[in-house]
Structure 1
Amino acid sequence: MALLVSLPGGIPDMAWFLLLLLPAACLQAGNSAESNRVNTFGVNQPAHLSGVQGGSIEIPFSFYFPWELAKDPQMRILWRRKYLYGELIYNSSSGFIHEHFKGRLILNWTQPQTSGVLRILDLNKKDRTVYFCQIHLNTKRGVQSWQSTDGTQLTITHAVSKTMQSPFIVTSAVTTAGLEDTEGQRNPSLVNLGAIIGVVVATAVLITPVYVMLIFLWWKKRPAD
């Protein structure tokens, strides 16, 4: 169904011409927006992560791209640290691991997956820095490579000591230790107090019969009423 628009002056041909141009303009605009959306690439990483000294941390990552992969894409995942395109610490294709991370880096990723996890074991204070994931792959337009621009800032915190975690156990141990220390040696004050009480009791036992006898004799000698 077509909409006929008559312009002043009676020239309907011009109206048809304008109507024909509108779909073309709309189509061009749509293609431009679609092109901008599709022709993008990047790497997703968390901005910040925190790990405990002596523990481990996992840095998840994912990537996307607009190109059609070559028959043999030869995907490679590289990890760098400190700054953009900084020091190389890991290369998935060659198996390279930086000396500082020997035996402590594990990459959970297999080609052609577009997401994975980098795990760092036995964290220490020197691991505190920014980590960048870098992607290399073959496409039908040649080799393409890109990486995260912001990376992941990793902070390391000190592990809480066992004494801080279990104060009641520590208190109990201290109390027990105190009892053990005093078990073989009595308090002198307690010894003196016991001796005094013993003397008082003994004195009372000796004096009481004498007082009883004196009271009895006094009662016998008192004049009769």
Structure 2
Amino acid sequence: MAWLLLLLLSACLQAGNSAGSNRDNIYGVNQPARLSGVQGSSIEIPFSFSFPWELAKDPQISIAWRWKKVHGEFIYNSTLGFIHDHFKNRLTLNWSQGQTHGVLRILDLEEKDQTMYFCRVYLQTTEGRKFWQSIDGTQLTITEGSTTMRSPSTLPSAVTTAGSRHTEGQRSPSLVTLGAMVGMVVTKAVLITAISVLLIFLWWKKR
């Protein structure tokens, strides 16, 4: 009976060590399965990654993105500063060295942007250069924006223009108040002067 208990204990310990070993070998890239954006607006694709290896003194971590399929064209590379022609001035990566998460932002969404996106990671470890990427990727869906909606970049100027139109042809309240006060002072001065002249005239006539 004692030998049976020892064998069971040994099997449990081996299973635990095996599970721990598997956990140590886990690496991957996490992305949302689906995202939806409005044509003309912007969208952010968050990502994070994990790995079991010990980093080199200079890990040289690099983030790249592919689109359409797992082995599709590259649209971005943080190390090379590469951006696909289709995304010129529309693609930014919010990520810095040392971080294991970030955000890819696509500006001014177009109908053609509706496709799959895959994040790929490169880094230098004590065991050499490693790289891997998301297999499932993120499916981006683009919907048409309302014709009554304006681009956020134009809203501030539109508001300012509307405000300036509203005030055209109208006097400032402070100027109106100042004009009224000046008018009252002038009226009082004229009235006082007239009364004074009348009194002097009556006094002179009486003499």
Query: Does the alignment reach a TM-score above 0.5?
Result: yes
* Aligned-pair CA distance for 1:67: 1.0
Any unmatched runs of 5+ in structure 2?
A: 150-207
Identity of aligned residues (%): 68
Name the residue aligned to 1:24. Answer: 10
How far off its partner does 1:16 sit?
5.3
Counterpart for residue 45 of structure 1: 31
Q: Which residue of structure 2 lines up, in the alignment, with residue 65 of structure 1?
A: 51
What runs of 5+ residues in structure 1 fail to find an aligned partner? 1-14, 164-225
Deviations 1:144-191 (A, max 9, x none): 11111011111111110119xxxxxxxxxxxxxxxxxxxxxxxxxxxx
Aligned-residue offset at 1:22: 4.0
Q: Find the partner of 1:108 among 83, 94, 97.
A: 94
Query: C-alpha distance in 2, partners of 1:162/1:39?
Result: 52
State the Cα RMSD in Å. 1.5
- List structure 1 segments (4+ residues) > 2 angstroms apart after TM superposition: 15-26
- Taking the aligned partners of 2:127 and 2:12, their CA distance within structure 1 comes to 29
Whichever residue aligns with residue 82 of structure 2, its letter is: F
Match of 1:126 among 102, 109, 112: 112
Deviation, structure 1 residue 20: 4.4
Superposed CA offset, 1:9-37 (max 9, x none): xxxxxx55555444332221110111122
Q: Could you say which residue in structure 1 is the equivalent of 2:71?
A: 85
Could you tell me how far apart the structure 1 residues matched to 2:4 and 2:113 are?
Answer: 65
Q: CA deviation at 1:58?
A: 0.3
- Cα shift at 1:39: 1.1
Q: Which has the higher contact order (CA 8 A, sep 6+)?
A: 2
Answering whether residue 22 of structure 2 is matched by residue 36 of structure 1, we say yes
Query: Which secondary structure state, in structure 2, belongs to the residue aligned with residue 33 of structure 1?
Result: helix
In the aligned structure 2, how far is the partner of 1:127 from the partner of 1:22?
Answer: 56
**Does the alignment pair 1:143 with 2:129?**
yes
- Aligned partner of 1:186 in structure 2 is none
SS of equivalent residue, structure 2 residue 20 = helix
Within 1, Cα distance between the matches of 2:117 and 2:3?
58
Aligned to 2:152: none
Using structure 2 for the length normalisation, give the TM-score: 0.68
State the alpha-carbon separation in 2 of the partners of residues 100 and 89 from structure 1.
8
Q: Give the length in aligned residue pairs.
A: 149
